[in-house]
Structure 1
Amino acid sequence: MKIMRPLGAVGIVASAALVLAACGSDPSASSSGSGSNSAAPAATGTAQVDCGGKSPLSGEGSTAQKNAIDVFNMAYGKKCSGQKVNYNATGSGAGVKQFNGNQVDFGGSDSPIKDADLEAATKRCGAPAWNIPLVVGPIAVGYHLSGVDNLTLTPQVIAKIFNGGIKNWNDPAIKAVKGNESLNLPDKPIQVVSRSDESGTTDNFQKYLGAAAKDVWTQGAGKKFNGGVGNGAQGSNGVATTVKGADGAITYVEGAFAKDGVTAAKIDSGSGGVALSPENVAKSLDSAKFLHEGTNDLAMDLNGIYASNVPGAYPLLLTTYEIVCSKYSNADVSKAVKAFLTVAATEGQRPLSSKGYVPIPQSLQDKVLTAVKAIS
């Protein structure tokens, strides 16, 4: 498979300006989807919080949830005066490694830990480790193509772009997608940009392709990009900045970064193109199931969502998790973790839609609060 030439030095390192911009706007404000936008009710209300314990708490991991963690931290400080969390956004792989190495109090991951990672986490805790979902957000198929700002892609076409099966923007397969007939698609190479670091966003994106375009995407999933084409950039900011600076580029990135020169494509799963928006993502959550039903490990099974064809539902999303011990050896850590997670699941959810995330629905909030209460 042909590897594309490097994009050059532009934007491989994330700029502080993009970080600030992503924190202060709603990238989905101008998006609209097809079909009904009936969505699951968002989490509301407050919960009793037993403040105190270790401060600052330490966390590390997912870059996708960094802006949400900042929101949670502000709400936590207001609810529990003097308490705060220091969170280092280094990527899901690093976060899991640091948590399992007992270097941080909780880890942040864009996909639930399992297998060897879960075994290592359980060994570190001396008790079961749990995946606690707190942040839901869309993954954008973000592109930069001069003169084209209303592109629709099917899962099959997306898969062919990211595994090298489609190499040019004027490929007949792209033109044939409903909604693209009138677009002036240029004779220009597609420059694929992927995450160079291990990332839960990569894992979720590849799982989506495996579920929604299983006959095309045979590369499998995992936190490393398996497509074999294009170039890599570090972190969410890195891929977004690279695409912004390269006409003809495309990537997968959290919805909060699809702005300022990075346009999110609509996705047509069979019922027409659906735009990335909080309402359209929330509609997809109606079909969410859990991998470990009946337990407080709330790892979600998203394959049903990825392969669905619900009119008006945006299916490409990720859920970020806080990886925690069900039982901590240090009571001060346990108390602070429970307080922080309780605030994050309640007051902390309300501002998230303005940051490009989707507040968790009430049904999920209830499960999260039950799990948090059980931490000891």
Structure 2
Amino acid sequence: MTAAAALMLTACGSDNNAGPASTSASGAASSSSAECGGKNSLTAEGSTAQQNAIAEFNKVWGQVCAGKTLAYNPTGSGAGVDQFIAKQVDIAGSDSALKDDQVAKAAERCGGNEAWNLPLVFGPVALAFNVEGVDKLVVNGDVLAKIFQGQISKWNDPAIAALNEGVNLPDAGITPIYRSDSSGTTDNFQKYLGAAAPGAWTKGAGKEFQGGAGEGAQKSSGVVQAIQATPGSIGYVEKGFAQQAGLPYVQIDSGAGAVELTDETTQKAVDTATFKGEGNDLTLDLDALYASKEAGSYPLMLATYEIVCSKGYDADTAAAVKSFLTVAANEGQANLSAAGYVPLPAAFKERLLKSVDAIA
């Protein structure tokens, strides 16, 4: 299974937009801060949102530390956490931090030690759409909440038309596309709706979609395929997947004008994110980001975490986990923008490396 997962990771990496590693990454063996000890192979499972970022990290890790590889199985955040708790993988990839009911189970898996949520990369979530004759579309939180609850069901609805003056919106039905598997992207999308449109979104958050409207699809790739195949559809998916598929995605108006999803607008949003605590667990508070009305800031973001044991690994596994995370936080960030992600700000990176160094 590990071999198959490694092959899957290689395939995922081959069709992303990250391109070859930079000269500084590929030649960094002598200058990298990473130790290259521990076992040569790690296993991880979870978020499909981060699979292209993990492919980049894995490639660079093998360049910095010859012979090292991580086999990543992109089954979704919920499955990744379950497999981590069950001791089937060394690392869980998740687009949301451990929930209260998972913390004790994760600690048990780690030999009675705390499991840490360590954000490695930020990823903007795109609202990709397939509407005949429309290549530019503006929405806001209220409209999105009502679309994904089924209260707005036509593309020429007055609420959408008011945001798209001069656009010839068709008298056609809307089909929302959502993740049918347990997904951290779903959790972040629903948290955004709750913060951006508290009067309209009444369904709460969580890794299972609560909106009750539309059609479900498995994994990020399944959402993209469903949007491509369904005229009149709109769905939430990580920017890199929409970008690779050539799908258009919406601009979001949070009250200060329509904002495109670009490197600049997502970086501005990331700058508003904060940590929830002062320790080595780096769970982020994104509520202020989601509710922000700041001009030029794209608010629909997720932080993708690696969930690891603070203690409780055997020595070879602990050394390898630290090596992988150190390379990912340093050399691995260089090519993320081209793959649709936002590299870690310097202050986040400093905190992250301190936590990685504390893994025992």
TM-score by length of 2: 0.91
SS of equivalent residue, structure 1 residue 176: helix
Query: Do the aligned partners of 2:13 and 2:52 also contact (CA within 8 Å) in 1?
Result: no
Q: What are the residue-to-residue correspondences of 1:323-342 with 2, within 5 Å?
A: 323-342=307-326
The offset of 1:47, in angstroms, is 4.7
- Distance in 1, Cα, partners of 2:297 & 2:61: 32
Q: Does 1:24 align with 2:17?
A: yes
Change (3 A) 1:197 1:300: same
Query: Do the aligned partners of 2:12 and 2:55 also contact (CA within 8 Å) in 1?
Result: no
SS of equivalent residue, structure 2 residue 211: coil
Aligned residue in 2 for 1:69: 54
Aligned residue in 2 for 1:176: 162
Aligned residue in 2 for 1:304: 288
Q: 1:110 aligned to 92, 95, 115, which one?
A: 95
Q: Does 1:163 align with 2:149?
A: yes
The offset of 1:55, in angstroms, is 2.1
Aligned residue in 2 for 1:148: 134
Counterpart code for 1:164: G
Counterpart code for 2:358: A
Counterpart code for 1:67: N
Aligned residue in 2 for 1:200: 184
Deviations 1:80-128 (A, max 9, x none): 1111101111000000000011110010000011211111111110211
Range that drifts further, 198-207 or 274-283? 274-283
Aligned residue in 2 for 1:278: 263
Q: 1:86 aligned to 65, 71, 88, which one?
A: 71
Runs (4+) of structure 1 moved beyond 4 Å?
18-22
Query: Do the aligned partners of 1:130 and 1:297 also contact (CA within 8 Å) in 2?
Result: yes
Aligned residue in 2 for 1:137: 123
Query: Do the aligned partners of 1:22 and 1:257 also contact (CA within 8 Å) in 2?
Result: no
Q: Does 1:268 align with 2:261?
A: no
The offset of 1:166, in angstroms, is 0.2
- Distance in 1, Cα, partners of 2:91 & 2:189: 24
Q: Does 1:288 align with 2:273?
A: yes
TM-score by length of 1: 0.87
- Distance in 1, Cα, partners of 2:115 & 2:237: 28
Q: Does 1:230 align with 2:214?
A: yes
Unmatched 5+ stretches in structure 1: 1-15, 27-44
The offset of 1:51, in angstroms, is 0.5
- Distance in 2, Cα, partners of 1:233 & 1:371: 36
Alignment size in residue pairs: 339
Counterpart code for 1:238: G
- Distance in 1, Cα, partners of 2:173 & 2:326: 48
Q: What are the residue-to-residue correspondences of 1:4-83 with 2, within 5 Å?
A: 23-24=16-17, 47-83=32-68
Q: 2:333 aligned to 349, 353, 360, which one?
A: 349
Identity %: 52
Aligned residue in 2 for 1:96: 81
Deviations 1:45-67 (A, max 9, x none): 97511112122100000000000
Deviations 1:270-326 (A, max 9, x none): 01010111211110122111122x101000010110001111010100010000000
Counterpart code for 2:198: K
Query: Do the aligned partners of 2:329 and 2:352 also contact (CA within 8 Å) in 1?
Result: yes
